Structures are given as structure tokens and as C-alpha cells.
Structure 1
């Protein structure tokens, strides 16, 4: 059997470029976690995650070199201060890793589906497996410490049935009560509530430590948006007599000394905003009550506007790294004519 080794496709380049930025950021964050963690039950989880990011960076660096592709700038030791005082509590670090592992599993699943070359698919499939292992390990420790926030319970279904009325899809009615939430809708409301809890705490910690007034203002705006969205999701659950997720002790300290560069903090919030928009789109598609769908759509727009304003700050400060792009054929043609 002939083994072909074609050059990377645009999709594969995009996947590696995105992975490199994400892993280099994670290496900085996790390195700081390792320097400040106190709970020895949690330390192995952070070390596992740190080793995973470091190994990924080494592998991707070799691949970029072999393919003669410019290595992304990403994030380095200059973007983290390992001597900064403790900013996050141990439960927050553990919850953060479990959350980012979920984001990573979704990303790797997409990378696998966009890859064609055998070695590329193997790399991303291994990444998916190891990130799944990280999620499994982190949730096991969360469970053992009573910190894992379970989704709400509902009665077991005792029979199956079909939807027999268009009213099932309606979220608003002047003449009838809204139907109860189904299990799919509850699961998405719960998940989005948890992600906004993490986002709220993280943006507050970044506002608390950034020396830049504009970034402080933008981060606090992100905190407010997360809390607003969290209340909307919690109200939707509570109005249906379903318990909204209650945060465990996932808090930050009073330190105002920045452990991370403004560039890294802005990139991190951009990453969370993108993940949140994707979650809302998935939730809207999965939900069957129109009021929920409309909520997800309008909240997605709010996140998109927030992310755009953040991108403007990054561009102004020359922090936004440009993705690999195709050449401008019109520009090349005009240059040749001259």
C-alpha cells in the first residue's frame, strides 16, 4: 500500500494554529496554578494538564518546523508571573480545569472531523482521548470533595409518547401555561449556567489584577454579562420548579498583583466568549420551546458584541495574532503590473 504524505490542508493548518495558541496559554495558566496550589489531592490533576499542554507544544513545534510553516507567537514565560501571590482558591483551580477540559473535548472533536492526513487525525484523536482522561480525573476529584455540581434530577419516565400539538413548541401564550421543560432543555440551561459561573469569576479576577483601566472596564462588563445570563438561565429553571446550579466554593482571593499579562487575559476571555457563543447555538438548536430559543439568540448577540469590543482592544495593543491566510491574488497581480 502506497503511503501518501501530502501537505497540510487549510483546515489542518487552522487546527494546529488554534491548538498551539490554546496550549501555550494553558501552559502559562497551569504553571501558575502549580506554583500556588495547596491541596495535594488536586496537584496531580494540574500536573497532568500541564504536562499535556507542554507535550502538545513540543509536538506541534516539530510539525511546524518539518512542514516549514512559521511558528505562531502564542504565549511564553513573559506572559505569566509565577511569583505572583495566590489569586485563586484550590476548588476554583479544579473546577476551572474540568470546565476547560470540556471546552477542549469539543475543540478536539471538531479538529478530528476537519482533518484528512493520517498523522494529523492520529494527533487530534490522541488529544481528544487525553483531554477526556483529564475531564474524568478532574471530575472524580470534584466528586470526592463534594464540589461537583450535578445537573437537576427529574422523575424517571415510565412511558414514551409523541408530541401531539404545536403548542409544545410555544414558549409564550396568553391563554395557556408554558409546558414544563424537557430533559434536553434542562441540561443545556444547567450547562450554560455553570459556564457563566466560571466566566464571571475569571473575568472578575482579571479585572482585579489588570493595571489597564480600559481592560478593567471591559472585564467587569464581562462579569456583569455572565451574571445577567446566569440569572436568566436560573430563572428559567426555577420557574419550572427545577433547582438551578448552585456554585461550590469557586472563588478568588483579594490579590491585585497580576499573574498574567493583559494579552493573555484578553485572549482567554475571547476564547471563553467563542466557546459560549458555540454553546448557545447548540442549545438553541436543541431546545424546542420558542422562548428558550429566542433567549439564546439574543444572548448570543450580546456576547458577540462584547467579543468584538474585546477584539478592538487587542488589535489596538497589537495583541491579536493573525491566523494563517491565503494570498491576495488581486494584490499580487497589481504588484506584478507595476
Structure 2
């Protein structure tokens, strides 16, 4: 029996649908970025990412056609304005690729783990490797230009150490001294500062270029939430005399010309918030101080509430494409 005769599972259907939506959105954003990038090395990174997304979409369409799977609507050139003025600096575009590559590595590894059919596993193995390559490529260019956001430095351990008391997990009692942060906790705090910094600039660019009042207000709320979270994480580091190292210039222009459709911008922020909640969950699971765990849980709830309000805007305006689902058997029976 060939793979084509094996039906897709729910995990494979979900993973393919999600991949198509994300790749079609990313291809549109990269198409706009390519219009204005001046730096040849950065342009090479963005062009490579664009070519990867284009090829991935073609492969997904082939899989859909072979399995009689309705191709999602997703996003296309009707969702972008190629005549709009430049919106993002070259540095922002390069860091955007690094960030989306991280999201891709996490997302595609999860998708791969949900698949069993060999051709689908081959596809997600390929795109996972592509995400790794894009991350490495963007990182090398950033390093060569001196614009890499480096995690804070600390001394390497000179000897092995073991936890000797339950106090190591404490941090909620203001009357007890809190132990210093460990390397795992520092790394997640700084990673979440970086990702929220990109979120701030994306929200700002979407707010100033959207023609829709409720989208503008949503993006501005998202910007303030990200700024608040950056301050919380930076203050936590500073309490241990650790300064968050300077981030690259992630500037956006002052253009107010609509560049992306409201549908695309709202979907993009939904993707960013989903990734952010995942980052917070990972940080909470690996942090060993109770105050950090509680903080991540509280901030995750704040992001989830913002995401819910965004979904309501998308539903109201018919922008939210529904993932594949099973039919309501009771309704089918009553309609006979």
C-alpha cells in the first residue's frame, strides 16, 4: 500500500492547515520587505526565506490536491500593498527572520511529532531543517554586522553544585531573601524581552497603517502589554544586577499608508501571541523560583485575554478562517 492510499490523521490535517496559513502569511510579509531592503546581505536572507515559503506552499498545495483536501484561503497578494512606502528598517527585517525561524523550529518540530505518514513526515523534516538554516543564516549576518542581541554574560561554573534546601524554590515571601537567578531563568527572561521587543514594533507598525479604528486600538493595546512585560522581565534581571544587553535598532518608519490587510495583521498578531504564550509556558516549566512561575502564569493570562479580544474582532469582520473539524453528527441526523 502506498502512502497516498493512507488517510490523513487529525494531527496531520491540523499540522498541514496551520503550516499553509502561516507560510502564506509569511510569504506576503517577506514580499513587502523585499521591496525596500538596501543591504545586500540582509536582502539575501530575506530572499532566501521568501523562496523557502514559496516552495513550501507549492508542496502543500500538491499534498492537498492528492488527498482531496480543500486548500485553505490563507493569504495572497490581495492582502498586501506593494506600492506602500517602506515600513521596516533592514535591521528589523533581519531580526524578524531570526524570530520567525525560532517560531518555525518549535512549531515544525511539534508538527513532525504529530505525523505518521511518511510523505508528511518528510515534508515537516524538510521545513524544520529549513528553519534551522534560516536561523543560522540570519544569525551569521547579524554577527558579522555587530547587531546581534546577545544574552547577558555570566561566569561559567568551576565546580558541580546541588540544591540543598527547599528555599531554592522560594521567592513569593517578601520577608525572605530571594536567591539569585540561575542561567536557565536568565536565558528565558532575556528571550522574552527580545520577542516582546519585536511585538512592540509590529503592533506599532500595524496600528499606524491600519485604516480600521478597532484594529488600531487592538494593536495599541498589544503594544502596551508587550512594553509592560519587557519592563517586568528587565526589572527582574536588574534586581540581580543583570542588565538586559542593548537590543538592535528595531525601528519602523512613520508611514501611515496601509501596507497589509487588516485580516493579515490580526492573524499575524494571533500567531505572535500564541508563540508568546508557548514561550512563557516553557519559561515557567523550567524556572525554579516560585515568583517567576507565578509571574509567567499571570502574564500568560493577560496575553490570552488580549488574544481572545483579537479573535472576537476577527470573527466580527469575517477574517477568522476556521480550522478543519469534524461534523456535528446530531445535526446531520436531524437534517436527513
What TM-score do you get using the length of structure 2 for normalisation? 0.98
| Aligned counterpart, 1:332 | 332
Q: What SS is found at the alignment partner of 1:46?
A: helix
| Aligned counterpart, 1:223 | 223
1:128-183, Cα deviation, whole Å (9 max, x unpaired): 00110000000101111111011011111111122111110001334432100000
CA distance in 1, matches of 2:91, 2:175: 47
| Aligned counterpart, 1:312 | 312
CA distance in 2, matches of 1:245, 1:263: 35
Deviation, structure 1 residue 335: 1.7
The 5-angstrom pairing of residues 293-304 of structure 1 reads: 293-304=293-304
| Aligned counterpart, 1:323 | 323
Task: Please tell me whether the aligned partners of residues 273 and 307 of structure 1 are also in contact (alpha carbons under 8 angstroms).
Answer: yes
CA distance in 2, matches of 1:71, 1:172: 50
| Aligned counterpart, 1:61 | 61
1:29-68, Cα deviation, whole Å (9 max, x unpaired): 0000111111111111001000000001111111111100
The 5-angstrom pairing of residues 179-194 of structure 1 reads: 179-194=179-194
Q: What 5-or-longer segments of structure 1 have no aligned partner? A: none
1:35 aligns with 2:52: no
Residue-pair matches, total = 335
Deviation, structure 1 residue 248: 1.2
1:247-300, Cα deviation, whole Å (9 max, x unpaired): 211100111112110110000000000000111111100001011001000000
1:92 aligns with 2:92: yes
Q: What SS is found at the alignment partner of 1:36?
A: coil
What TM-score do you get using the length of structure 1 for normalisation? 0.97
Deviation, structure 1 residue 245: 3.6
CA distance in 2, matches of 1:171, 1:88: 40
Q: What SS is found at the alignment partner of 1:70?
A: coil
Q: What SS is found at the alignment partner of 1:255?
A: coil
CA distance in 2, matches of 1:231, 1:49: 32
| Aligned counterpart, 2:244 | 244
1:199-239, Cα deviation, whole Å (9 max, x unpaired): 00100000010011111011000000000000000000011
The 5-angstrom pairing of residues 247-326 of structure 1 reads: 247-326=247-326
| Aligned counterpart, 2:112 | 112
The answer to which of 169-178 and 183-192 deviates more is 169-178
